[in-house]
Amino acid sequence: MKLDVRYGHNPRDVKSYDTTSLRDQFLVPEVFRPGELRLTYTHVDRVIFGGAMPGGERLALAGGKELGTERFLDRRELGIINIGGPGRVILDGRAETLAKGDGLYVGMGVGSVGFESEDASDPAKLYLMSCPAHHAYPVTKIELA
């Protein structure tokens, strides 16, 4: 799991940024990379967003020093939308299958979160968005079809 940490900016300073500076500070140029879980943590509202593009192996979310928790969802909630091939999200050992366009809400407190593609030649592209949470809500799946 790769976690890029971004810090807040003073609005007065941002007004003086040229195009290159704006891109360096705000653009996330590569959300999906085959076989990787790539996340960006912005101190603006403590949002974490990114993408999981599992190939042949499961990718796992983890807590750590940047989050101050052992597990990723100890104090966070997570939204997932699949924009790629069929995939699975493994939540505490239970699999939720996501077709292209399906979404999944995962509430605070889920212990382990993993991502898999059903077919490595047509990998899932799971867009992830996470924010701090203060109450646990149940896992909810939203199907496109």
Q: How many CB atoms lie within 10 A of CB 87?
A: 27
Instruction: Quote the pLDDT of residue 86.
Output: 97
Instruction: Quote the pLDDT of residue 110.
Output: 97
Tokens of 14: 């941002």
Tokens of 16: 């003086």
Q: What is the mean pLDDT of residues 88-108?
A: 97
Weakest mean pLDDT among 6-20, 46-60, 90-104, 116-130:
6-20
Q: Which of 28, 55, 56 is nearest to 128 (CA)?
A: 28
Q: Torsion angle, CA of 79/51/121/89, rounded to 10 degrees?
A: -30
Q: What is the mean pLDDT of residues 103-131?
A: 97
Domains and CATH numbers, the chain: 2-142 (2.60.120.10)
Is residue 145 scored above 70 in pLDDT? no
Confidence of residue 27 (pLDDT cuts 50, 70, 90): confident
Instruction: Quote the pLDDT of residue 10.
Output: 75
